[in-house]
Amino acid sequence: MKKPLALIVDDEPDIRELLEITLNRMNIQTSSAENIVGAKALLQQKPFDLCLTDMRLPDGNGLELVDFIQTLPAPIPVAVITAHGNMESAILAMKKGAFDFVSKPVDLPALRLLVNNALKFSDASSAKKRQSPHLLLGESLIIQEIRTKIDKLARSQAPVYISGESGSGKELVARLIHQHSSRSDHAFVAINCGAIPHDLMESEFFGHKKGSFTGAVSDKKGLFQAAEGGTLFLDEVADLPLPLQVKLLRAIQEKKIRPVGDEQEIPVDIRLLSATHRNLNDMVRDGSFRQDLYYRINVIDLHVPPLRERPDDIPLLTDHILTKLTGLNKEDQPTLSASALAALQQYHFPGNVRELENILERALALYDGNSIERDDLNLPTDAHNGAKSQDFDPALGSLEDHLEKIERKAITQALEQNSRDKTAAAKQLGLSFRSLDYRLKKLNMTD
């Protein structure tokens, strides 16, 4: 079997020798260059599988080499070596397409892990299109662009921040990035940050030692350890309390965690993906989300569009959902009448794809066995023009009663659109799970 070939770019002979010895012991061939000019010449002469480059070079910046490699017909994974604590350079390199980074002084176990992850993606046997049980359906231009971005992001270790409305498919996008990446053989761990009680968050994220607090009857691994070698997806990351944001930032930067009650830090190898439907920029401005954490998780920003911005995808999505709900092939499954399909394409979809699935599930229970008609969809009639009916009229009661009525209606509609799923309804309303639960109790709407 042909040995992998790595390019090492550094102007310090001692560093080059250390990297060469480390990679040679991993059964990897190496070639070295001491500057950008020499590195570019070698890249055009030999079929490298990986490049390790220092950030500061005699004739320029390692970022120039990152840019150059992205222009090659077959770009290879490139990792940058940065000065300790220089996260700004590392983040900029990953924004430009670097696979990952390692800080000086070089931690050899971390370097070997990085190299192995990079070579997994370069390996011809694993570089073939990875099969995924999940699909991002649609032929609209915006969805085609997202699929292209997913393929590109899968070749990196950079943290990705996925923004978009509730129900638009943010977790699906995260799963696809994982399943197309070199980490696909390991776990994808998803957690809704708004569904964890604040006093249990640190233990859930980092684990705990037996006896570290009341109820800790045994050692427990946290989410970071559960995702070891794979991907950790933090949904509704905006719901993290400030004290945990500090600990999360350290875990991401140092690639180490400390379980509650433990004196030792544990190295972890995860890729972080995060998402929220809230505006993190606004939260940074009002001080409820740390700016340094925001910049660390938002190395790459991927926006998932709402369903109303891609109505041409609705027929394809409808066919897929009906097949999933009925278990029938397209020839045997129910069809939508032209008027029903037109109504769906004109509807605003505040709950996005998740709401479309709930509407079709309800329609299957109502239709007469021939085709699904517009009336079977039972779409809200005041989706666009309900504001007028909500104008305050003092003759009909107090302002407090009026606001309570609006709140009750919005919560009821969100619960119905999400099949009584409180977590999904809370996301659609822009609330945390705890906040929705409080409102349900206050309005006496609990089951």
Can you give the pLDDT of all 447 residues of the chain as single tens digits?
A: 689 999 999 999 999 999 999 999 999 999 999 999 999 999 999 999 999 999 999 999 999 999 999 999 888 999 999 886 677 888 889 889 899 988 888 889 889 989 998 888 765 434 444 455 567 899 999 999 999 999 889 888 999 999 998 889 999 999 999 999 989 999 999 999 988 988 889 999 999 988 888 777 788 899 999 999 999 999 999 999 999 999 999 999 888 999 988 888 999 999 999 999 888 999 999 999 999 999 999 999 999 999 999 999 999 999 999 998 888 777 778 889 999 999 999 999 988 999 999 999 989 988 887 789 998 998 876 544 333 445 655 555 666 677 778 888 888 888 888 888 888 888 888 777 877 887 888 888 876
The total number of structural domains in the chain stands at 4
Pair 231, 181: CB distance under 8 Å: yes
Kindly state whether residue 137 falls inside one of the protein's structural domains.
no
| CATH number of residue 410's parent domain | 1.10.10
| CATH number of residue 362's parent domain | 1.10.8.60
| CATH number of residue 86's parent domain | 3.40.50.2300
The residue range of the domain holding 351 is 307-377
Kindly state whether residue 136 falls inside one of the protein's structural domains.
no
C-alpha 28/C-alpha 49 separation (Å) is 10
Query: Which of residues 349, 377, 405 is at a domain's end?
Result: 377
Both 288 and 420 in one domain: the answer is no
Both 44 and 107 in one domain: the answer is yes
- Note every long-range contact of 415-422, with CB atoms under 8 Å and residues 24 or more positions apart, other chains counting: 416/358, 417/350, 417/351, 417/354, 417/355, 417/358, 417/359, 418/167, 418/351, 418/354, 418/355, 418/358, 419/358, 419/361
